[in-house]
Amino acid sequence: MELRTLRSFVVLAEHAHFPRAAAELGVVQPALSKHIQTLEDELGVRLFERTRRRVRLSRAGEQQMAPARRALRAADYVQAVAREIRGGII
């Protein structure tokens, strides 16, 4: 599982709108769709319920949000520590 696919999941869940989520992530909408499909395939669950007019978290998606956010916070922390090491702060 890649952090970018996990981040795509969280951002799409927050926006519930593919174009806005793609814009925030700096990717095109088909790439975002691919990230979500890849993550769903890896996890073996549907994370979103999609219709032509809307997207919303599925029950499985709701259950994955907290762990996904924790994982992203942990990854952000690792990067912050690395920046401090490079900067001679620690």
> What confidence tens digit (pLDDT) does each residue in 29-76 have?
999 999 999 999 999 999 999 988 889 999 999 999 999 999 999 999
Q: Quick one: which of 36, 8, 34 has its CA closest to 22? A: 8
The neighbour count for residue 15, using CB atoms within 10 Å, is: 16
Which pLDDT does position 90 carry in this prediction? 72
pTM value? 0.89
**Across residues 14-42, what is the average pLDDT?**
96
pLDDT at 11 over 80: yes
Q: Which of 47, 60, 51, 63 is CA-nearest to residue 12?
A: 47
pLDDT of 8 reads 98
State residue 53's pLDDT score: 83
